[in-house]
Structure formats: structure tokens, C-alpha cells
Chains A and B, each alone.
Chain A
């Protein structure tokens, strides 16, 4: 039987989508807002805290809604923990603004409203980028930062395990990643041909 000159380009058969899946809420909901900056303390001992509110339906987070207060140095702590323990390249934080902390400034220095707003935006970008990262979601420090009242700096660093498997029958595997634009050419993970593991 000789072959035809016209290729068969018909779509492959696929299962029709369940309507509750099609119109239901997506499983990737994750929103973190940073707002309500408040400066506490007096004189030289002043510092600014920000409210970090998270709403999500990802099963890896114990609480579907959480609200904590954090200051800039808490964000720095999180960045350091992730840089040390995880394989991801952590995005930059907004600046430390040391110059603003010098005396004899004409303005309020780091308590200047415009500066706080700038910093708030930078922190919001930072935390959203990180919290959506599948490898970062594995780190206990992230969960403690987002969902526990206070950060215990003497905690034992480690990975977070899901309490239960949502997809019964699938084996647990190591997550393999490779990033390009996120790492800007430098990859912290060992080079792998695939960015997805075979189940």
C-alpha cells in the first residue's frame, strides 16, 4: 500500500474535561500582600514592621490564610536561609538604605513615607516571587516566615513534607529544576537534561 501525499494532522483523542475542573477555582491560588507599615519604638530604637498577609489554596501551606508582622531584618533572615539551604537563586531584596540611617539628614531617613512605600513594594515583589517557587515551598523557613507568629532563629532548618499524598499511588521523587532567566545564566542546581522528573 503506497503512502498518501497528505499527512494526517487530525488531533489526538483526548478525554473531555470535567466541568467542575473547567469552571472551578484553580489549584494555584497564592496571593501575598504586604501593607500597613507601622513604625514602633522611640528614638534610635525605632523600626518599621509590615503586615504580611497570605491567602492560598495550595495544600503545602498548613494555613489557607495567615497574617503576621515582619520587619526588614526578618526578610533578610529568610533570604539568607534560602540562599544557604535551597538550590534556588534568591531574588534581590530592596536596598538596605544605610545612607538613610546616617545622622544629620534633612528628612526622616528610613522612616520617610516615600521610602517606606518603596520598600513595601520591593518586599511584596520579593515574597511573592519566592513563595511561588516550588523549591522554596519545600523549606521550613519559608513556612515559619509566612505562617508563624514569631520567627524562631534557633529553629532546625529542614524540608517540609506534605502530611498526606493527594495523588494516591504516585511515588515521591526529588524535584529537579533548572532555571534560565531566574538564574541569569548561573544555575545552582546540577545540570540536568530535564526540568521535570518522570513519574
Chain B
């Protein structure tokens, strides 16, 4: 939270009405630190108070007006002067006059549109914040409070698997498959690599998650690639006919939803990069885009239902809750 204004004779604070009940979410700041901010979704009302506390109760505060704004803006790091505001709402709290005692001003921004998710990246930042301003002749007193916005999606209707045969002619032919093309942020990538032809000496294989942040338009497009994860899926030399499984849990990595052409200013896209390395450190790779999306939290089902699902996956386990009576070994011995 930033705090401008000198000659502070007054402390300004912005407080939300639902501060007790509203959830907070962690969000990375520009310098890499993680902070918690109040979490909002699209369409939610933002209401609260701006409280003024006079430092010296005997001194009056003359002002040219008090207002509070709700702002959503995109800031490109290479062009800091120009903030692009895509949401800008203002409420006047007080006409020019005097503040003689500490007081609070209520405000409400009803059903505010928040079309994009908050994002702090390498070259661009998208943020939402409340800004309270006390206008004065020489210098304003300004207080900002950042909030975090998440955009939620539901399970996509169409979510086909990605399956492709790629290779280098007469050298290396593989077929790779990923079970979906769209994954939510806590999802699992389940896939496999099938070797059709192996005429090179492979040493190991890994799968990387690459984030590509694209800023700028036309001739000034700039891509910033960042390898978020490297996950070895095979160690050793495969031969023809071998299948290597992939199981990559996304919840362990710092990921955001795929953001496409946000306000025509930037994009954030994710790619899976399958890399095979041979014994002379040569790298053979295939990149494939995956769409990431944010799932809303669901109410957890009862534990027994979850256990029932889990047990169906493994042959021979007994679901919890079934009575197990001790008996001769031949009866219970077949359970794994």
C-alpha cells in the first residue's frame, strides 16, 4: 500500500465494511515479495469507509474536496508514465470545506465490473485499488489500498486431449499425449510419451512449464519467457515400443490463468515443453500450448465419498467404513 502526501496533519485510512468476512489472497508484489490482499470477484460491490483522523485535534483541516475512487489499471514497466485505466469510478465524499474533527465517510461502488484478473509480471502489472484523495491547494493527501481480483471459470465444455506424432525423420519418432488441453490451476497433467523410433542415444527426458508474457503491439511486441518448472519424467535410454507416463501436479507451481490480449495490452500464455536430451547434451524439444483457468472453490464432499472414489482407483483396497472381521489368512490375504 502506498502512501503519498507530506505535511500530514491527518491520517487517512480506507476500511472495507466486510473486512471480517472477506477472504484474503496472496499476491506477488513487483519486487517479488508476497502480500495478502482482500479478494474480490467480478460484479461484487466494494463498500466501506474513508476515515480521517486529525493528528492535532485543535487544528482544522482545510481542503478542496474529498473523494474516493475505484481504479483498475494496466501499467507497462517500460512506459510508467502512462497508466491505462480500464475501470475508473469515483465518489465525492465531501465538498470543499473544513474538517474540524476526525470522521469517517461511507462509500459504496455497487456491482463493480472487474473484467480481468490482477497480475504482476516481469514487464507489466494489472492492479485494482481504492484511492482516497483529500485535495488541497499545495499538495493532496492520498491513500491507496490495493485489492486482488480473481477471474473464475467453470469446467470447459470442450476439453479435448492433445495427441501428436512428432519427430526427426529416421532418427526419433514419438507420440505424445496430454489428457486435456485446458487445465485448472490445481489440476494434474496426465499424459504419456510413446516411442516409435529411437536411433539416438537418449539420456533423459523432462517436461517444462514455460510462461510467456507478451507486451506491446505491432512491431514493438516483446516476449518474456520464464521456465516455471522442470520435471524429469524419464532417466535412461528408451527403446521402440516403450511408454513413459506423465503425471504433473500443477498446484505446486506459481501459475496464473491464461490471459489473452488483456485490454489489447498484454498476454500471458503457458506452454508445456517436452525435452529429450541425448548423451552429447543435444536437446530435442516440442512445445505445446495449454490453457490454464481458475476454478472457483467447491464445497468438499463428505470424506467417505472421497475415500470411495480413491479406492476405486486401486484394485483390491477395501473402501473405508466396511467392517473388517479378523479371519483366516486366506480370506484377508488377497488384499494388497
List chain A positions with a Cβ less than 8 A from chain B: 2-12, 14-15, 17-18, 21-22, 24, 26-28, 30, 58-60, 128-129, 132-134, 162, 166-167, 170, 172-173, 175-182, 193-199
Q: 6 interchain pairs (CB within 8 A)?
A: A4-B305, A11-B192, A21-B239, A21-B240, A26-B237, A59-B170
- Tell which of B186, B191, B200, B313 has the most Cβ of chain A within 10 Å: B200
- Among the stretches B34-42, B91-99, B131-139, B159-167, the one at the interface with A is B159-167
List chain B positions with a Cβ less than 8 A from chain A: 155, 164-174, 177, 179, 186-188, 190-192, 194, 196-201, 237, 239-243, 245, 247, 278-287, 298, 300-301, 305-306, 309-310, 313
B170 adjacent to A196 (CB under 8 Å): no
Secondary structure of the A contact surface, majority rule: loop
A194 adjacent to B198 (CB under 8 Å): no
B286 adjacent to A195 (CB under 8 Å): yes
Report the 6 A-B pairs with minimum CB-CB distance, sorted nearest first: A14-B243, A17-B241, A21-B241, A195-B285, A196-B166, A181-B281
A4 adjacent to B306 (CB under 8 Å): yes
A194 adjacent to B166 (CB under 8 Å): yes
The one of B170, B174, B188, B243 in contact with A15, judged by C-beta atoms closer than 8 angstroms, is B243
A5 adjacent to B301 (CB under 8 Å): yes
Bound CA span A17–B241, Å: 5
A13 closest partner in B (C-beta): B192
The one of A6, A133, A172, A177 in contact with B309, judged by C-beta atoms closer than 8 angstroms, is A6
B166 adjacent to A178 (CB under 8 Å): no
Distance to closest chain A CB from B200 (angstroms): 6
Known contacts A17-B242, A162-B170; is-contact A3 B283 (Cβ 8 Å): no
Bound CA span A129–B247, Å: 33
